[in-house]
Structure 1
Amino acid sequence: MSKRILIADDDDDALAGLANLLTGMDHEVALAANGAQAVEVAAQFEPDVVILDLGMPLVDGLAAARALRRLPNGHAMMLVALTGWGQPQHREMTQKAGFDVHLVKPISADQLYFILSMMQP
């Protein structure tokens, strides 16, 4: 089933690659280059899923996740951390910030498909 997915990453290549992958899976995709932009876009786009890099400039993924959860539909969104940070303390940080899932880059199409399939329609 098609989902509305917002991707936020300051790496243009990572952003484009993930967007192409998700578009190829028939999802509707919106993009943001940083955490502040992700919150702005989410308020308009109302995504089902938000995939956030953690190490972004201006507003990082942790602060963006907390801000997203405060939006009117924030608790209905699945928040996915997609990052190079994979230590136990990083997973604890993402959990405290309100993320549902913590994934370490690089991610395969199969992993992504599985995570998205876990979300209720």
Structure 2
Amino acid sequence: MTKRILIADDDDDALAGLANLLNGMGYEVALAANGAQAVEVAQQFAPEVVILDLGMPMMDGLAAARALRNTPGGRGVLLVALTGWGQPQHHEMTHDAGFDVHLVKPVSTDQLGFILSMTQP
């Protein structure tokens, strides 16, 4: 079974680039342009991993993480913050919102592969 990954980012280029990378690594990928859309897509797609940018319009990544954690099955999802925000207070914010991992852009393929290997397909 292929691992399903949902990516949410309001930067179209970042979204497409990460989607292409993950597709090339053999993952099934769904995309969202903001946090609210990510929560909606997750309900249909049932991802094992959700990668969220933090600074998105309508619903930011922090609010989306909290919403995802409160959905049925949301506790078992690996939530990854992938953001340009790398200060200690940002790590604390993501931890408090329910994220499992905080990655600062740009992320290496090796680093991403390692994080994704921590979940079962």
With normalisation by structure 1, the TM-score equals: 0.97
* Structure 2 letter corresponding to 1:54: L
* Structure 2 letter corresponding to 1:59: M
Could you say which residue in structure 1 is the equivalent of 2:51? Answer: 51
Could you say which residue in structure 1 is the equivalent of 2:32? Answer: 32
Find runs of 4+ consecutive structure 1 residues off by over 2 angstroms: none
> For residues 40-77 of structure 1, what are the alpha-carbon distances to aligned partners after superposition, in whole Å with 9 as ceiling and x for unaligned?
00011000000000000000000000000011010110
SS of the aligned residue for 2:75 comes to coil
Mapped to 1, the partners of 2:3 and 2:68 lie a distance apart of 17
* Structure 1 letter corresponding to 2:84: G
Mapped to 1, the partners of 2:104 and 2:119 lie a distance apart of 19
Give the total of aligned pairs.
121
* Structure 1 letter corresponding to 2:62: L
Mapped to 1, the partners of 2:106 and 2:81 lie a distance apart of 12
* Structure 2 letter corresponding to 1:52: L
Mapped to 1, the partners of 2:55 and 2:111 lie a distance apart of 21
Could you say which residue in structure 2 is the equivalent of 1:119? Answer: 119
Could you say which residue in structure 2 is the equivalent of 1:64? Answer: 64
Could you say which residue in structure 1 is the equivalent of 2:73? Answer: 73
Mapped to 1, the partners of 2:118 and 2:31 lie a distance apart of 22
With normalisation by structure 2, the TM-score equals: 0.97
Q: State the Cα distance separating 1:119 from its structure 2 match.
A: 1.8
Mapped to 2, the partners of 1:87 and 1:118 lie a distance apart of 24
Q: Which runs of 5+ in 1 are unaligned?
A: none
Mapped to 2, the partners of 1:18 and 1:30 lie a distance apart of 11
| 1:90-105 equivalences in 2 (<5 Å) | 90-105=90-105
* Structure 1 letter corresponding to 2:13: D
Q: Is 2:84 aligned against 1:84?
A: yes
Mapped to 2, the partners of 1:2 and 1:77 lie a distance apart of 15
